[in-house]
Structure 1
Amino acid sequence: MLKKLLVVGLFLVCAFLGFFAFKNLPYAHQYKWFPYLGILVGFGIAGLAIFIEQVFRKVPLPVIIGGTVGLFLGLGLARLLSLVFEQLNTGLFSAFLYGLLSVFFGYIGLVLGGRKFQEIRMPDSVSNAVSFVSKRFPKRECPKVVDTSAIIDGRLADLCETGWVDGPLIIPSFVLAELQHIADSTDPHKRARGRRGLDTLQRIQEAGTVEVRIVEQDFPEIKEIDDKLVELCREIGAKLITTDYNLNKIARLKGVPVLNINELALALKPIVTPGETLKITLVKEGKEKHQGVGYLDDGTMVVVENARDLIGNEVEIVVTSLLQTPAGRIIFGKLKEANAKKAVA
């Protein structure tokens, strides 16, 4: 709300100043419409200021500082060089030369200053202060923005309690609002998922192993929550924790590091090789004839040939092959001799 008032005030002030500036120009009294042209010019200047503000909002603070210093140094050098020719040439030529040198050295100073300033190594205290001003976190921290899907999933709380997750967890206010909306849904399944997400956040906070920060930063001009999450990660230099496949792809395409809980769970599944012996309980029939299906403790599906008659029993099998799918890993096996004879009998 405050920003909107400032924008309205900016347009009004610029229009007011433009009106009176054009009204007092020489010969302005000959054209009644001339002061109203000043209002349009004022509006244009205000719009240009807002555009520049939007562009510079995405530029890191060191680049702005370096570019500003370089610009002033370039303009100063241009002025010194133009003074050499002022005594030898006419005023018109000197003014033209000064303008040319200002554009040349000003551009070089702006570009080189913005790039080279980032290479300067500053003390940690100064670096952290600059990071705070530019809304980025100190380098010793590794902030992680958490999306709604990862909170509702519930496994994040277990990861935090084991100590595998470090750095502050950043929970945007718009994610909390989405969680509350889901928890208040009339659909019982959505309501249960939303409440599970709120319970997960409370569990992480009460455990105290990882700091949780609620940030009020929002992007009103962005409608989609996924786009807001990506923009927030880019602005504060954070990683994104999610279980959403599409958000995972979009964030990585835009250069945001992603920690996908599903990928982590897949990577932590126990390694099984062909020829290895396993004990599982068959719980249901398979798709093909005579197949039985069981599951490992981590949820990996195990398909056993010629075991349909042993459903409900614990059997010992020999792994024959593995199949990796986007949904996870499937293990194929056959019964050991004792179990095979029992199935035949």
Structure 2
Amino acid sequence: MNFLIFLFVITLFTIVSVNLQAEGFILHPFVKGLIILAGSIFLTIFVYLKLKKMTSSQILFCFLGLFLGIFTGILLSLPLLILSSNLNFVAFSFITAFGYAGAIFGFKKAETIKIADILWIIKKEAIWEEPKILDTNVLIDGRIADLIELGFVKGTILIPRFVLREIQYIADSPDPLRRAKGRRALDILQRIKRAEKIRFEIVEKDIPEIKEVDTKLIELSRILKGTLITNDQNLIKIAQLRGVPVLNLNELAQAMRPPVLPGEVLRLFIVKEGKEPDQGVAYLDDGTMVVVEEGRASIGRTIDVVIHSVLQTGTGRMIFGKPKTDDPFSEKE
């Protein structure tokens, strides 16, 4: 059934093309009306049954092949139309065959030539606005979905097929922890796909000569002229050396933390003892560790802490303070 509908659509395009291009091949207005009516009905069925099951690459290449085939058929059949008007049917059959062959060729070629393969000759603004390529660890982290849903990350989000395979491999791991991370990443992917403020696309392009996923990501980002989003510090350094733009969610999180200044008083719950004698440890809402000198005696209590120094490290920041001496509001939790 799908084959017949597909063939009918090609025939419809062919009739119209020949009618427009070839002198003498003129249809009666009533016949034209029937063709347009039938074409509308069958084209609707075709779109519902065929395009619904096709990828964007297959649709694009199929129609490119269809029109190129019809155009080639028209050019090659012009001598027949010039020689004799009696050869119209032969020319029509010739054009139909080329149109059908072009559509099938385009459909098959879409399996090997993906849209991503031709992006390097097309300005990225023409197809994908501000493409951003996501690394596996960003999907496992999950914060990227919140940023997208809130509108802080816009444009097109690209997930390479090899990254998706890596996530599926992690989700099928016998290790419960790794399996949970993989399934979380798949859930995050679903959230991103449903987001309304971005365009989501799975990139089929692979780079078979490169085995490592990290190197593939850098090369793909360079080809697509996109921005790589990752939390991997080593990958970030290599990407920057290659001139690939990188966004680091950890750096963004650090930049968004509220500032804490020496002399400021924070009300904190002392969770546990510190490494040094008489130290207590508390945490801010964003997870920042606060080391409280002379705070061991206050473990399990909420007290006022006077900040005296802030230490910035490669992984974040540590805050040091002491209990406020006159704290009449200390309370047992």
Where does residue 259 of structure 1 map in the other structure? 247
Indicate whether 1:228 and 2:205 are aligned: no
* Alignment partner of 1:166 is 2:134: no
Distance 2:133 2:197 in 1: 17
Residue 207 of structure 1, CA deviation: 3.1
Q: Given the alignment, which residue of 131, 134, 138 partners 2:125?
A: 138
- How far 1:341 sits from its partner (Å)? 11
CA contact (8 A) 2:120 2:223 kept: no
Equivalent residues of 1:152, 1:193 under 8 A apart: yes
1:12-67: CA deviation from partner (whole Å, max 9, x where unpaired): xxxxxxxxxxxxxxxxxxxxxxxxxxxxxxxxxxxxxxxxxxxxxxxxxxxxxxxx
Unaligned runs of 5+ in 2: 1-117
User: Structure 2: which amino acid aligns with 1:254?
Assistant: R
For the 8 Å contact 1:284–1:294, the answer to whether it is kept is yes
1:270 pairs with 2:258? yes
Q: Distance in 2 between matches of 1:229 and 1:274?
A: 42
1:290 to 278, 283, 287: 278
Given the superposition, is the C-alpha separation of residues 133 and 300 from structure 1 closer, same or farther in structure 2, using an over 3 Å criterion?
A: closer
SS at match of 2:124: coil
- The percentage of aligned residue pairs carrying the same residue is 55
Give TM-score scaled by structure 1 length: 0.59
Match of 2:234 in 1: 246
Select the residue among 184, 195, 200 that pairs with 2:172. 184
TM-score (norm 2): 0.61
Per-residue CA deviation, residues 111-150 of structure 1 (Å, 9 max, x unaligned), is xxxxxxxxxxxxxxxxxxxx85715511782111001011
Q: Which residue is 2:135 aligned to?
A: 147
SS of the counterpart of 1:138? helix
Q: CA deviation at 1:161?
A: 1.6
- Paired letter, 2:298: L
Q: CA deviation at 1:340?
A: 9.4
CA distance in 2, matches of 1:315, 1:226: 46
Q: Is 1:319 the counterpart of 2:307 in the alignment?
A: yes
Could you list the runs of 5+ residues in structure 1 that have no partner in the other structure?
1-130
State how far apart, in whole Å, the 1-side matches of 2:216 and 2:176 are.
28
Contact 1:135 1:235 in 2 (8 A): no
Aligned equivalents of 1:210, 1:297: Cα separation in 2: 30
In structure 2, the CA distance between the partners of 1:340 and 1:320, relative to structure 1 (3 Å rule), is farther
1:239-263 Cα distance to aligned partner (Å, 9 max, x none): 0000111111111111001000111
Deviations 1:147-192 (A, max 9, x none): 1011111111111122110111110000000000000011111101
Structure 2 CA distance for aligned equivalents of residues 196 and 263 of structure 1: 22
Question: For residues 83-114 of structure 1, what are the alpha-carbon distances to aligned partners after superposition, in whole Å with 9 as ceiling and x for unaligned?
Answer: xxxxxxxxxxxxxxxxxxxxxxxxxxxxxxxx
The letter for the 1-side match of 2:324 is: K
Assess, with a 3 A threshold, how the Cα gap between structure 1 residues 342 and 226 changes in structure 2: closer, same or farther: closer
Instruction: Please tell me whether the aligned partners of residues 135 and 236 of structure 1 are also in contact (alpha carbons under 8 angstroms).
Output: no
Question: Any idea what SS the aligned residue of 1:218 has?
Answer: coil
The answer as to whether partners of 1:275 and 1:319 remain within 8 angstroms in 2 is yes
What's the CA shift for 1:204? 1.6
Which residue does the alignment assign to 1:83?
none
For residues 275-295 of structure 1, the C-alpha deviation after alignment (integer angstroms, 9 at most, x for no partner) is 111111111111111111111
CA-atom RMSD in angstroms: 2.0
2:186 equivalent to 1:198: yes
Q: SS at 1:337's partner residue?
A: coil
Q: Report how many aligned residue pairs link the two structures.
A: 213
Question: What is the deviation of 1:209?
Answer: 2.6
Cα distance in 2 for residues equivalent to 1:223 and 1:268: 36
> What letter is aligned with 1:210?
I
- Report the CA distance between 1:270 and its aligned residue: 0.9
- 1:166–1:210 contact (8 Å) kept in structure 2: yes
SS across alignment from 2:125: coil
- 2:167 touches 2:182 (CA, 8 Å); kept in 1? yes
Structure 1 residues 325 and 277: CA distance shift in structure 2, 3 A: same
